[in-house]
Structure 1
Amino acid sequence: MELLFTLFLGQPLWLWLTFLSVVIVLLVLDLGLFNAGDEEIGVAKSLKLSAFYITLGLLFAGFIWWQISAEAAGLYLTAFVVEKSLAMDNVFVIAMIFGFFAIPRKYQHRALFWGILGVILLRGLMIGFGAALVQNYHWVLYIFAAFLVFTGFKMLFAGDDHDPDIANNPLLKFLRKRLNVTDQLHGHAFTVKLPDPKTGKIKRFATPLLMALIMVEIADVIFAVDSVPAVFAITSDPYIVFTSNIFAILGLRALYFALAAILHRFAYLKYALAILLIFIGSKVFITDLLDLGKFPASVSLGVTFLILGTGVVVSLWKTRGEPAHDTLPGEPGDAHPARH
């Protein structure tokens, strides 16, 4: 029993086990109850699932308030909102990946479900490594903060034409040279056994669905380079960093099927995200310069909501009247068919 109260990365082990148990239950429900089989997820169902995940994320803030402190709950909420917002660009890239490989909507959930397992593992490793760095070398926080400020200004003044060139992605080219890849989907299978066109021998081939899954995982690693330092700039508590990351990702995966069709309505949100990154990075330096000890969690949360709320309102106002897309990437009628 004493083992459960042993500190692990700053918090009792039972707190970590409780969170991981919740995540496992959610994943089991997701695959076995909410989305059994190859069912297409419509916008209405997507919004209901998203509301469910967001509600759980907010309730977890209450759990942190109860078990840790009100300040920790405020930091968690700030990190949760920041992670959810930063993941918007991730949705855009995932949509492009699915469109490139022509993955039908009924198979997209399967790829995203298995993708979240990889995300949990990869984010856990990155957060554990980051926590160890911050604990042993406090100055690493200043590197994180400077990187966020630089990234924010880069996003703020970057042009609109920055779509990733998936066809010429070096990793995709490397995988296609090293793996046997089919040109066609084989249902929801990630791999399939087929005769080799040259030798006639049966070999295992990767399907476009597996290639899409790999590219989604790589995209998350790239986005984690921004998001993980952003949360460490909010709090150095690994428990809050990890739980806010995972709850934000779980919810966004459900929201993808609604967001992908209306993402163009949030065209100006990237400027709000850029300003938010600059704010998060700058407050690390401001806190030290003014000898504040800690930046007030309530102020940080309020400024975060103000910046993002302004970005959403401006986006919806500027893009009013623009219709939502009728199809998601990978569906019939998509303007960007797959290229194999």
Structure 2
Amino acid sequence: MNVTPLVWIITIAVTIAFFVYEFFVHVRKPHEPSIGESARWSAFYIGLALLFGVGIGVTVDWTYGGEYFAGYLTEKALSIDNLFVFLIVMTGFAVPKKYQQKVLMIGIVIALILRGGFIAVGAALIENFSWVFYIFGAFLLILAYQQARGGHGGNPADGWFMKFVRRILPVTDEYHGDRLTVVKDGRRWVTPMLLTIIAIGFIDLVFALDSIPAIYGLTEEAYIVFTANAFALMGLRQLFFLIGGLLERLVYLAQGLAVILAFIGVKLVLHALHVNELPFINGGEHVEWAPEIPIWFSLTFIGATIVVATVASLIKTRSDARKATSTLSRTPEEVEKEISE
């Protein structure tokens, strides 16, 4: 896929323009977006992402179009996992609803910048060192195991990183609007708003470490990696308010992501064997029996995993809600009889 510097410049400029527009039109004035506003903009960005993928397929090649869609689906699923952690952080810091848009916007921009840096590094590594696929594959298999065991692991607002930040920065107990710092008694203090943004920036760094190897397992084209990430992050702010209540019902999201990451990890290892140049593996020769998983299968597998995890989560939470309602409606005598039996 031949992408000229001009196309790169235009793509990055348009991406920046979207985020600048978002800030001045939606985020600059603090407010809690309505469901209607969130739904319209979420649909717009998802539609734009799908249209872009069709454009790649029609104007370049459908192989690249398939790689883009597989990458976009994977990054969108990982971004929803991002939202879950953002929700935990903002709950932990008790961020007022009307200021959450600003925190999300800054967090998403930080995520895009960090991912851009990792994309550049990843492209350089893949270009010069084919053995990096072994490392990416092993890393994703480890991450898949961690996801399957429970995903998020506590409130990041109370983690070691934030405890370290609190030790070196003077922090106020209360919010001062959406200000990041405030002067009290002649001294500059940091507000919880800035702490929240620092926490989310640190989380973005951690998530970039798994999202970039994951998408490089589906395509080696840096342009597709960047655009899939950019479109996955666009509209994420609106999606947060649209599915905020649904996030807590996606109880099998971590397991679904674990399956996706494990699948891509295996795919990367197989690809590494196929292009092997390490002298201590098969004498430095390519391993011919290692199959290359086609992109149509990757796209189907990822899409099906997301659907199964979502449907299973909703069935589970609905069943739990029915059981809870049934328990509440029973008399103490019925509950005591059930326990004794």
Give the TM-score range, shorter chain: 0.7 to 0.9
Q: Which residue in the other structure is 1:332 paired with?
A: none
Task: Pick the aligned partner of 2:316 from 310, 318, 323.
Answer: 318
Structure 2 SS opposite 1:192 = strand
1:289-319 Cα distance to aligned partner (Å, 9 max, x none): 5657853222211111111111111111111
Q: 1:284 deviation in Å?
A: 2.5
| 1:253 match | 237
Q: Mapping of 1:115-126 within 5 angstroms?
A: 115-126=107-118
Of the three residues 170, 180, 185, the one matched with 2:170 is 180
**8 Å Cα contact 2:78/2:211 also seen in 1:** yes
1:121 and 1:273 map into 2 onto residues whose CA distance is 23
Q: Report the secondary structure of 1:97's partner residue.
A: helix
Aligned residues: 307
- Superposed, 1:1-340 pairs within 5 Å as 11-156=3-148, 158-159=149-150, 162-164=153-155, 166-167=157-158, 169-195=159-185, 202-287=186-271, 288=274, 294-320=292-318
Q: Deviations over 1:249-292 (max 9, x none)?
A: 12222211122222122111222211111111112333525657
SS in 1 for 2:184: strand
* Structure 1 residues 42 and 321: alpha-carbon distance in aligned structure 2, compared to 1, 3 A threshold: farther
Give me the whole-angstrom Cα distance separating, in 2, the residues matched to 1:30 and 1:16.
21
- C-alpha contact (below 8 Å) 2:151/2:254 kept by paired residues: no
The structure where helix makes up a greater share of residues is: 2
Matched-pair identity in %: 36
Residue 105 of structure 1 deviates from its aligned partner by 1.1
Structure 1 gaps, min length 5: 1-6, 196-201, 324-340
Ranked by relative contact order (alpha carbons within 8 Å, sequence separation 6 or more), the top structure is 1
- Farther off after superposition, 297-306 or 208-217: 297-306
Larger mean Cα displacement after TM superposition, 221-230 or 246-255: 246-255
Q: 2:138 is matched by which residue type in structure 1?
A: A
Given that 2:169 and 2:190 are in contact with CA atoms closer than 8 Å, whether structure 1 keeps it comes out as: yes
**How far apart, in 1, do the equivalents of 2:200 and 2:258 lie?**
23
Offset of residue 66 of structure 1: 4.0
Question: Which range moves more in the overlay, 125-134 or 146-155?
Answer: 146-155
Moved more, 144-153 or 70-79: 144-153
Segment of structure 1 superposing worse, 208-217 or 258-267: 258-267
> How far is 1:207 from its partner?
1.0
- Please tell me whether the aligned partners of residues 91 and 259 of structure 1 are also in contact (alpha carbons under 8 angstroms): no
Q: Work out the CA distance in 1 between the residues paired with 2:316 and 2:14.
A: 40
Q: Which amino acid aligns with 2:175?
A: L
Give TM-score scaled by structure 1 length. Answer: 0.84
The AA in structure 2 aligned to 1:107 is Y
Q: Could you list the runs of 5+ residues in structure 2 that have no partner in the other structure?
A: 275-286, 322-341
Deviation, 1:78, is: 0.4
1:130 Cα deviation after fit: 1.4
Aligned-residue Cα RMSD (Å) equals 2.2
Does the CA contact (< 8 Å) of 2:57 and 2:63 recur in 1? yes
Distance 1:20 1:67 in 2: 19
**Which segments of structure 1 move beyond 4 Å, counting only runs of 4 or more?**
289-294
Contact 1:272–1:307 (Cα < 8 Å) also in 2: yes
